[in-house]
Structure 1
Amino acid sequence: MKKIAWTACQLALIIAVTAGCAGKQAAPAAAPPAEEQPVQEAPAGQDAAASEGEPAGTPPQNQEAERPAGVPDKPATEETEPDKAETGSMSIKVYYTDANQAELLESTQEISYPSELQKYKLAFQALQRSGSDNQAPLWSESIEIQQIRFENGALTLNISLPDAARLGAGGEALALEALTKTMFQFPEVNTLDLLVDGEAVESLMGHVDLEHPIKRNI
């Protein structure tokens, strides 16, 4: 009996050990901890579009396109011509009239101009004041230059002309002659177009026909 009991104990022990090993094999292996991925920060100055997946180096959509090769620049105007240091000075002839508006009187003035367009503006302003009691300006100081344009030998002056600055038939003819003589002394000016408030009027003051443009007499 003791031998049978001892054998039964050994069998029970073997069964218990076998069951324990089977339980260990059935348990799933624990998953290894996920490796923490480092967070990549966007470089300083990178815009929101680039951080959302836009390729680096993509130019801004609103950036102005470069001027294609061969496209000419705009003609020179007071708006387009950059400010410069003084580029020159010269003595110019300016024309006025006598007290009776009977004839033109020639005078000389010195001008210093920061740009080519300013040269024409200063010449026109010289027509508006003589500095002499014996020389009367035909162009009133109330006349304002709205814009000056120069391109390929063509000079355009756009002025405002108040009623108080208008002259009679003789004065109008002398005023136009004084203007053309003053502006055509510059060798680069071949034509002169005079506009009033941007319009090519038939007559400057209502008495003399106004050509568009006035051409230099060779």
Structure 2
Amino acid sequence: LIAAQRANIPLEFERAAAIDLAGRDVLEAVQMSVNPKVIETPIIAAIAKNGIELRAKAKVTVRANIDRLVGGAGEQTIIARVGEGIVTTIGSSETHEEVLENPDKISEIVLAKGLQAGTAFEILSIDIADVDVGRNVGAQLQTDQAEADKRIAQAKAEERRAMAVAREQEMKAQVIEMRAKVVEAEAEVPKAISKALVDGNLGVLDYYNMQNIMSDTEMRKAISESSAKQDNLPADQRLK
């Protein structure tokens, strides 16, 4: 009370008792009303619209407001609100160069938000102590997206390959099935010829003519295969 009286700060005993009951140091509050306190925020990371991360640290000069010490928010609220204002300001900047060129812009915008409302302090100034360039978050996100797209494309390609392999196996099975049917049909030919001979539908001469045609066909086939093999050999290895 004596310190408040000497500093010309109106402070009744009842208010001082209420401040003390609220868990605040009355002497410190009076001293802070006379000598403002500097609150330093932790490093605050924010990303500009061009995807570049900036890390800023601010110093907030505050003065205790005796009338709001009871029920007013403390230093942590001031730090949180200032951090929110810094993130909002950097996030609304088109490029990180704008912030680096004019860091005072952050202070002006944050101060204009009226951050001291409901707190036990009066904000006198907000000064940006340091601004550093961090990661290129935008480029990292694009890289991650490209990698994700690549994996999706690879998965789809693998799916198509598996379908092609399955289709190939299916076609091979069909070929084997058709060959089996051909063999089965060929096995019925001698029976049909025998029955035709017995029934008189096929003469002996016709049968021999058919055998000659089949033999001639086999011979022509063998000759053509031999010629094809000769054509594939080097010139010095071909038969003269």
TM-score w.r.t. the length of structure 2 is 0.24
TM-score w.r.t. the length of structure 1 is 0.25
RCO comparison, higher one (Cα < 8 Å, 6+): 2
